[in-house]
Structure 1
């Protein structure tokens, strides 16, 4: 639970910067994070504006994501907003007679937790849940039931965290069968909204069975694969794609994606696994050899040329022309 709460408070910090209209100042301000036992504290300050979030224990959010349903007996969550003019602090704890107790302070003085204050902090809770991916499977199921795949994809577009975006995308593909148009949209979303190479690769490998079952969506899939910056992650995704039966046109797309892998070793692994596919297609034979020529390492390149002679049954002249 400790790590989950650390993630929750970290994401709350991100949200509060945006709430205060200071997201562009994050790099200029000072951010600190501390763990003491089960308590996690995050603080961000810049020129008198910022926030502090502290939590401990198990915290369960409401089904509408706009508040806390319950907190463990020894738990609490405290959120403080500081905008240079005033400090607003909300402390949420288990009530003495059940339910939850909300204690709200403005500039250190006890204040009424009225409708206006509740609206501010309700938005905070929505972002905490969204960005931390807490209960992602349940949220995806609920949105699918009310708004379908489009509703889930629209919700995903609101997420800033790469890992949380991946988590929601994976959950969507685990719970729903997407049609070709939805698959194309999801691939574009993975390319634009999952910046992490590892997260993007992970999603594309999990989603591959649905894409390879809908040929019309595969160009979009390979666009997303080709956008993966990391050599290792792109090669792993292409290796996974080779487990499926793809036609010569899509195989050319795979070779194109492989040709842009910077690492000699990663590129060699993909081309070794791909050797022999569509060997009777002259376009593939030519593209395969051209891709070998992009390998920086002469040793790896030579070994693959020998493989090319064997698998594609080429003579020496055809590999040196």
Structure 2
């Protein structure tokens, strides 16, 4: 017979052999019939069969144990803390799988240097530790008497036991678990560890601590010390790697920017720690705080924009970029990078808001204008595209940027919005390339009324004969005789003055008018 915990493999040497598997009161039998004239060879086979089945059962047992271990690890650890207005603090920690402890105390608690005992409690204070594990309940209650001496009591279940013989040992075991799971004695412990082993020792201790709340408390206490630059980098690495809670990460980073951003190396570590935050809200808050602090260098702004691109929320992403634009001046490279980052914003409203704010930056380079215009790609709102283009056209654009702006205007679906922008655009001096693009945009407009409005605005500028002829000939594309004649009339004065090839172009367009009245109206205007 072989035993494996709750499993039994039984082999009986008799004419009928039974291999039995017992689990939770269930018996499964494998029956093999052995003939009365069995040979030694057959017995050997049966023995081998028993060994094989025993091995299979052992594997099954190991699988169950491993599965049970995973279930245990899957148990979530939870901590609840409450502080009453009378100074009582209650901490409950559930480590999962029936293992939990409860701490209640009032007053100032001082621990021994090895964290194995309570050495003093302030007058009127007390401390109670209760632990329950797999149905076993134990408790320690400590309070000072009138002379300050501590009275320590130890209970197992509801029975009081000797503290010195049993309770002291359990106190040493449970107290280390308590201080590493709660903030009890945290200030005293950080001070003691820092005196002995510096920031390294405190960070090493944090590695043993369970719970982001407690880890954050220890880091905050450590940041009150006179630290070296290298210590800040180590702390930032711990924040990024060991604290899971976005709230606690962001809280430490936001409230210590002046310390973390002292050097370029620590600022780089700060940005790296911020990149580990998953919450868009918390990441945006951290980035905005670091931007407002003003210690991020131009080189580090590149990394900051890369992190901002990981923010999914359009609201939070735009808030970071707007904070950059309002809080600091940017070199041309970083401005171009910011504008390119705006292209990742899906919301037309938020993207347009960032692009308009970028245009308020002084000394925008032509390359930045091109980046801004490219950032309009993918926007569907004619209104928001128009607000950006209208503001852009107030800038002193080079011919290349101006041509790019005209092309983007052509992507607007609404003839009304398109006309508003073109009427503003044609007030500027136009190059030959600009005129070619403008005519193409007009050709794709559906409304003859809006086309005529743009031509009327064009007629107020001065052009070379070649340019003027090209503009006049493009009027042929207006379908409505009324609007075609209206557009020609706007150029009649300058055509009358110039004559020649310009006059020929005008006459050519007049001949395309079907209506006699509109034909005569246009033709008579130049006689």
TM range (shorter): 0.7 to 0.9
Higher mean C-alpha deviation, range 194-203 or range 107-116: 107-116
Which of 250, 255, 274 matches 1:201?
250
Determine the C-alpha separation between the residues in 2 that align with 1:86 and 1:279: 67
Partner of 2:372: 319
Partner of 2:271: 222
Does the 8 Å CA contact 1:190/1:224 hold for their aligned counterparts?
A: yes
Aligned residue runs from structure 1 range 149-160, under 5 A: 149-160=199-210
Partner of 1:184: 233
Q: 1:46 to 1:34 in 2, by over 3 A?
A: farther
Which of 305, 313, 317 matches 1:263?
313
Matched, 1:100 2:158: no
Does the 8 Å CA contact 1:268/1:295 hold for their aligned counterparts?
A: yes
Does the 8 Å CA contact 1:61/1:68 hold for their aligned counterparts?
A: yes
Greater RCO (CA < 8 Å, at least 6 residues apart): 1
Q: 1:41 to 1:198 in 2, by over 3 A?
A: closer
Gaps of 5+ in 1: 1-21
Q: 1:138 to 1:39 in 2, by over 3 A?
A: closer
Determine the C-alpha separation between the residues in 1 that align with 2:229 and 2:95: 46
Matched, 1:171 2:221: yes
Q: 1:161 to 1:84 in 2, by over 3 A?
A: closer
Higher mean C-alpha deviation, range 285-294 or range 119-128: 119-128
Partner of 1:67: 117
Q: 1:132 to 1:67 in 2, by over 3 A?
A: same
Partner of 1:231: 280
Report the alpha carbon displacement of residue 77 of structure 1 after superposing the two structures with TM: 3.3
Q: Deviations over 1:147-202 (max 9, x none)?
A: 1111111112222221222222122122122233x333211100122222121112
Report the alpha carbon displacement of residue 86 of structure 1 after superposing the two structures with TM: 4.5
Does the 8 Å CA contact 1:166/1:199 hold for their aligned counterparts?
A: yes
Q: Deviations over 1:123-168 (max 9, x none)?
A: 3223333433244334322222111111111112222221222222
Partner of 1:8: none
Does the 8 Å CA contact 1:166/1:203 hold for their aligned counterparts?
A: yes
Which of 331, 349, 354 matches 1:279?
331
Does the 8 Å CA contact 1:104/1:110 hold for their aligned counterparts?
A: yes
Determine the C-alpha separation between the residues in 2 that align with 1:117 and 1:294: 62
Which of 302, 315, 318 matches 1:252?
302
Partner SS, residue 248 of structure 2:
helix
Partner of 1:10: none
Gaps of 5+ in 2: 1-70, 375-527
Does the 8 Å CA contact 2:111/2:185 hold for their aligned counterparts?
A: no
Report the alpha carbon displacement of residue 67 of structure 1 after superposing the two structures with TM: 2.6
Structure 1 vs Structure 2 CA RMSD = 3.5
Does the 8 Å CA contact 1:170/1:207 hold for their aligned counterparts?
A: no
Q: 1:216 to 1:304 in 2, by over 3 A?
A: same
Determine the C-alpha separation between the residues in 2 that align with 1:106 and 1:308: 70
Partner of 2:190: 140
For normalisation by structure 2, the TM-score amounts to: 0.49
Q: 1:235 to 1:131 in 2, by over 3 A?
A: same
Q: 1:96 to 1:248 in 2, by over 3 A?
A: closer
Q: 1:141 to 1:87 in 2, by over 3 A?
A: closer
Q: How many residues align?
A: 295
Q: 1:291 to 1:115 in 2, by over 3 A?
A: farther
Determine the C-alpha separation between the residues in 2 that align with 1:268 and 1:102: 59
